[in-house]
Amino acid sequence: MNNQEIQNFLYDEVLVDAYGPEEQLISWFYFAEEELKFPFTAEVAVKKTNGTTESKKVVVEELVGFDGTVAHPAGLKVEIAIGENLIEKPLSSLNKVEDLGRNQKIIEA
């Protein structure tokens, strides 16, 4: 399957019974909660105190919610561990997801 076929499949699977933006958000949340395999590692851009940005490898601990405005997987939020700190980031901010491929496909949808 190419990326467009994967995206179409995921949308058909997730949104088949969702009517309106609120139901779509909830559908994406429950789908991601069931299908993403936590914890997993990824990279995320982190802004440093000197104003520069660096890519940092993090552990993605769990799905924690959604921003309430985007009826798309990009609106989902995850909790990530950076050192001893846990912070929330948009799912769409993750790069180089390390897994068997399924998590990356869901995140890119």
pLDDT in tens, 61-106: 988 887 766 556 667 888 888 888 888 888 888 888 776 566 666 6
Contact 96, 43 (CB under 8 A): yes
Q: What stretch of H or E contains 11?
A: helix 3-15
Q: What digits encode the pLDDT tens for the residues 7-63?
A: 777 778 878 888 887 888 888 888 888 888 888 888 988 888 999 999 988 888 988
Q: Which two tokens stand for residue 28?
A: 């994406």
Rounded to two decimals, the pTM is 0.71
Is residue 27 a contact partner of residue 33, using CB atoms and an 8 Å limit? Answer: no
- What distances in angstroms separate CA 46 from CA 12, 57, 76, 87, 95, one per listed residue? 34, 10, 19, 11, 12
CA–CA dist 92, 39 (Å, integer): 16
